[in-house]
Amino acid sequence: MCGIVGYVGHRDVAGFLLEGLHRLEYRGYDSAGIAVLQNDEIKVRKKAGRVQELSSELDSNPVQSSIGIGHTRWATHGEATNENSHPHIGGNGEVVLVHNGVIENYIDLRNQLQGLGFVFKSQTDSEVIAHLLAHHLQEQVKLGEDASTKETCLKALELTTRKLNGTYGIVAMFKECSNTIICARAGSPLVIGIGKDEYFLGSDSSPLIGYTEDVVYLSDYEIAILSSDGMEIIHRDSGHQSPSIQTLKQVSADSDLGDFEHYMLKEIYEQPQSIENAMRGRLDEDEATAKFGGLNIDPQQLRKIDRIVLTACGTSWHAGLVGEYLLEEFARIPTEVEYASELRYRNPPMTDNTMVFTITQSGETADTLAAMRECKRKGHPTLAICNVVGSTIAREADGGIYLHAGPEIGVASTKAFTSQVTVLTLLALYLGRMRHLSQPAGSRIIQQLKEIPDIIRKTLKCHEAVKDISERYCHYENFLYLGRLYNFPVALEGALKLKEISYSHAEGYPAAEMKQGPIALVDEKTPSVFIVPRGNIYPKVLSNLEEIKARKGPVIAIACEGDTRIEQLADDVIYVPDVEDYLQPLVTSIPLQFLSYHIALLRGCNVDRPRNLAKSVTVE
Ligand code: F6R
């Protein structure tokens, strides 16, 4: 994961680096650091903790330069300490670098380098790259090369990357080679922004926004040299490349908290609007179907699809499960939902007409990207349901559907989930209308969808009730989340939300399945959150609920307004509006978002920046 930023030009670099690191903090917030070349000396400032800590460090210990690199870390190898923070210095201080990715052969390399006398200060895999780079630079110098030339530094980095197994985005500076940054990538993204006599660098485009619109996305095995003389890009095998300059699509980053205390709460409240945005311009009432601008695939081909694979991670995978139910119900296309981390290494049989959809908020999740690339390599059309415009997955997919949910900053995904479910509903309607779904059925769905933003506004009114209930349940350590059919993925999602931000243990299960084992966990100390709206199998879920009550398990029920029967069974009830079964996830997920939010607050947790997590998981 980790965020990388860099700059060479004429500005005072520290301000740009710090601002960039703040924008990249969603990729990790275990530590932050920068390095600059100041009067031909490498100066490093780094601190465990948030970028804010680094900022305070820089206030008391400032640097002055117009060339520098920076890093915000999500720890993979070694704890979140000052020593393990990037940038890392190599050798005798000849080089300094930041790294994003994972070096799989770092132990072997470390042993070899220690044998050569290199002294390690950290437990990271990244420090290995720094010493290896210094080693190759020293070797070049022994061969008579000049350490102050770009060519020598490039050669050293090229030799270094050839020894690395794993993934990397590396940005390095060299003590002797003033005014030059050299970067390389394999598997971890790097974006170069081109300004007037200046270059900007980021592990994604967010640090570049507002500085330049001309960008180059570095490809795997490319190395870029950025200096006051210009930019060169060299591919490891095919030599010099002419850069393909693209225009950065800038989205307005509404990252202001407004009156809200946390981004998570703000984003929960944004859902009427984000769901509306996901539908805007996509409902075709005349044809009783949905329409999409960017699928880039002709209807003939879509008609031939005989199987859909939805692949994603985490919350997006839960949205995929809802999508499976929707696509099979409305379009009658067999649908599989695959964890991207599994799919990338599996080799499931896929028919010629299998269509692959990746679902991702960030568009940067490493496993999702790798799974998509693997399917694309096999020749399947790959489409992305994605929120972040211009993200790696959005760029590499053959086509797709944007969520238009706006920036999601809270680490726990909320509005992206409901937007993903909304888009999947539209997709099921669209593919359904190409097949078995009649015009009246399509029209009915459209009318129901149009009412959803208002229904979500009404659902948000459960907030106060959930807050009260949270006070009674915040001390419990274990929860079960139970639902059936469309509400089974919601149960999984509710349990994930609670785990990730409150650190209470929670398991999501299909409500009937809990009899096959998990019911052994039920006692008066293990509450069950039952999602039991009216609908096709309401009585069945009620029976499951009674089974829990018979074993003294406390029950919080998410039920439909006007349901009086539930009050006699559950200990606490949260009421939500009554909607058709297929729309229930949009409604029932909302009280569960509030529940995790309030339980986390009451337990004193950092809701927007939970421990051990990052907004975007860019390592596998
Ligand atoms: C949980 C959460 C994660 C993400 C997962 C995939 O609240 O946010 O589980 O859903 O990391 O991320 P994206 O959707 O960006 O690919």
pLDDT band for position 490 (cuts 50, 70, 90) = very high
| CATH at residue 293 | 3.40.50.10490
Looking at the chain, the whole-number percentage of residues with pLDDT higher than 90 is 87
CA of 45 from ligand 1 middle (Å) equals 31
Average pLDDT over residues 234-240: 92
Instruction: Determine the atom of ligand 1 nearest the C-alpha atom of 411.
Output: 8
The answer to whether residue 620 is domain-embedded is no
Mutational pocket test of ligand 1: of 391, 617, 619, the residue with most ligand atoms within 8 Å of the beta carbon: 617
User: Tens digit of pLDDT for each residue in 539-594?
Assistant: 999 999 999 999 999 999 999 999 999 999 999 999 999 999 999 999 999 999 99
The answer to whether residue 479 is domain-embedded is yes
In this prediction, residue 615 carries a pLDDT of 83
Does residue 290 sit in the same domain as residue 381? yes
Question: Rounded to a whole number, what is the distance in angstroms from the first to the last CA of the chain?
Answer: 9
CA of 318 from ligand 1 middle (Å) equals 10
Which one, of 111, 159, 109, 169, lies nearest residue 137 by Cα? 159
In this prediction, residue 253 carries a pLDDT of 52
pLDDT band for position 75 (cuts 50, 70, 90) = confident
Average pLDDT over residues 216-244: 93
User: Tens digit of pLDDT for each residue in 339-361?
Assistant: 999 999 998 999 999 999 999 99
Average pLDDT over residues 255-261: 85
The verdict on whether 615 is a catalytic residue reads yes
The answer to whether residue 608 is domain-embedded is no
Mutational pocket test of ligand 1: of 338, 362, 401, 418, the residue with most ligand atoms within 8 Å of the beta carbon: 362
Residues 6+ apart with CB under 8 A from 615: 26, 27, 362, 408, 409, 411
Among the three residues 226, 254, 282, which one is the final residue of a domain in this structure?
Answer: 254
Does residue 268 sit in the same domain as residue 247? no
Residues 6+ apart with CB under 8 A from 202: 3, 4, 5, 6, 20, 24, 190, 191, 193, 208
Does residue 359 sit in the same domain as residue 415? yes
The answer to whether residue 43 is domain-embedded is yes
Instruction: Determine the atom of ligand 1 nearest the C-alpha atom of 393.
Output: 16
In this prediction, residue 251 carries a pLDDT of 57
Pocket of ligand 1 contains residue 593 by CB under 6 Å: no
Mutational pocket test of ligand 1: of 365, 498, 613, the residue with most ligand atoms within 8 Å of the beta carbon: 365
Higher local confidence (pLDDT), 105 or 236: 105
User: Tens digit of pLDDT for each residue in 497-520?
Assistant: 999 999 999 999 999 999 899 899
Phi, psi angle pair for 204, to nearest 5°? -145, 180
In this prediction, residue 28 carries a pLDDT of 82
pLDDT band for position 162 (cuts 50, 70, 90) = very high
What are 486's two structure tokens?
């469309």
Does residue 107 sit in the same domain as residue 58? yes
Pocket of ligand 1 contains residue 267 by CB under 6 Å: no
Judged by average pLDDT, the poorest of 113-117, 268-272, 377-381 is 377-381
Upper half-sphere CA count for residue 63 (Cβ side, 13 Å): 32
Average pLDDT over residues 190-199: 95
Pocket of ligand 1 contains residue 152 by CB under 6 Å: no
Which one, of 546, 563, 471, 177, lies nearest residue 555 by Cα? 546
Does residue 291 sit in the same domain as residue 169? no
What are 139's two structure tokens?
């070797």
In this prediction, residue 250 carries a pLDDT of 61
The verdict on whether 153 is a catalytic residue reads no
Pocket of ligand 1 contains residue 617 by CB under 6 Å: yes
The answer to whether residue 619 is domain-embedded is no
Average pLDDT, the chain: 95
- Residue bearing the CA closest to ligand 1, atom 10: 315
Among the three residues 197, 223, 254, which one is the final residue of a domain in this structure?
Answer: 254
Among the three residues 184, 219, 254, which one is the final residue of a domain in this structure?
Answer: 254
Does residue 446 sit in the same domain as residue 547? yes
Name the residue range of residue 57's domain: 3-254
CA of 617 from ligand 1 middle (Å) equals 8
Pocket of ligand 1 contains residue 589 by CB under 6 Å: no
In this prediction, residue 289 carries a pLDDT of 98
The answer to whether residue 609 is domain-embedded is no
Which one, of 193, 212, 207, 267, lies nearest residue 23 by Cα? 207
Does residue 44 sit in the same domain as residue 95? yes
Does residue 300 sit in the same domain as residue 192? no
The alpha carbon of 11 is separated from its chain's Cα centroid by a whole number of angstroms, namely: 31
Pocket of ligand 1 contains residue 316 by CB under 6 Å: yes
The alpha carbon of 155 is separated from its chain's Cα centroid by a whole number of angstroms, namely: 34
Catalytic pick from 2, 183, 375, 560?
A: 2
Pocket of ligand 1 contains residue 493 by CB under 6 Å: no
Sign, CA torsion 431/436/440/444? negative
User: For residue 254, is pLDDT > 70?
Assistant: no
The answer to whether residue 325 is domain-embedded is yes
CA of 315 from ligand 1 middle (Å) equals 5
Instruction: Compute the distance between CA of residue 415 and CA of residue 408 in angstroms, rounded to an integer.
Output: 7
- Residue bearing the CA closest to ligand 1, atom 9: 314
In this prediction, residue 9 carries a pLDDT of 96
In this prediction, residue 355 carries a pLDDT of 95
Pocket of ligand 1 contains residue 358 by CB under 6 Å: no
Four-point Cα dihedral 94, 100, 103, 104, nearest 10? 170
Please tell me the total count of domains within the chain. 2
What are 236's two structure tokens?
């490891």
| CATH at residue 183 | 3.60.20.10
Average pLDDT over residues 157-163: 97
Instruction: Compute the distance between CA of residue 364 and CA of residue 372 in angstroms, rounded to an integer.
Output: 11
Pocket of ligand 1 contains residue 204 by CB under 6 Å: no
DSSP H stretches of helix in 205-298: 263-269, 271-279
Pocket of ligand 1 contains residue 614 by CB under 6 Å: no
Relative orientation angle of helices 415-433 and 314-326, to the nearest 10 degrees: 30
In this prediction, residue 187 carries a pLDDT of 86
In this prediction, residue 379 carries a pLDDT of 93
Instruction: Determine the atom of ligand 1 nearest the C-alpha atom of 412.
Output: 7
Mutational pocket test of ligand 1: of 311, 313, 414, the residue with most ligand atoms within 8 Å of the beta carbon: 313
Does residue 440 sit in the same domain as residue 525? yes
Which one, of 101, 89, 112, 105, lies nearest residue 34 by Cα? 89
In this prediction, residue 255 carries a pLDDT of 63
User: For residue 619, is pLDDT > 80?
Assistant: no
User: Tens digit of pLDDT for each residue in 54-73?
Assistant: 999 999 999 999 999 999 99
Average pLDDT over residues 408-415: 95
Q: Which long-range contacts (CB under 8 A, 24 or more apart) does 8-11 make?
A: 8/66, 8/67, 8/179, 8/180, 8/181, 8/198, 8/199, 8/226, 8/227, 8/228, 9/66, 9/67, 9/195, 9/197, 9/198, 9/199, 9/228, 10/66, 10/197, 10/198, 11/66, 11/198
Does residue 523 sit in the same domain as residue 577? yes
> Strand (E) positions, 180-295?
180-186, 191-194, 199-202, 214-217, 222-227, 230-235, 239-241, 246-247, 283-284, 289-290
In this prediction, residue 617 carries a pLDDT of 84
Judged by average pLDDT, the poorest of 30-44, 235-249, 368-382 is 235-249
Phi, psi angle pair for 316, to nearest 5°? -65, -30
Which one, of 529, 474, 471, lies nearest residue 504 by Cα? 474
Does residue 190 sit in the same domain as residue 307? no
Three-state SS at 249: coil
In this prediction, residue 76 carries a pLDDT of 85
Does residue 214 sit in the same domain as residue 277? no
- Residue bearing the CA closest to ligand 1, atom 7: 412
The answer to whether residue 614 is domain-embedded is no
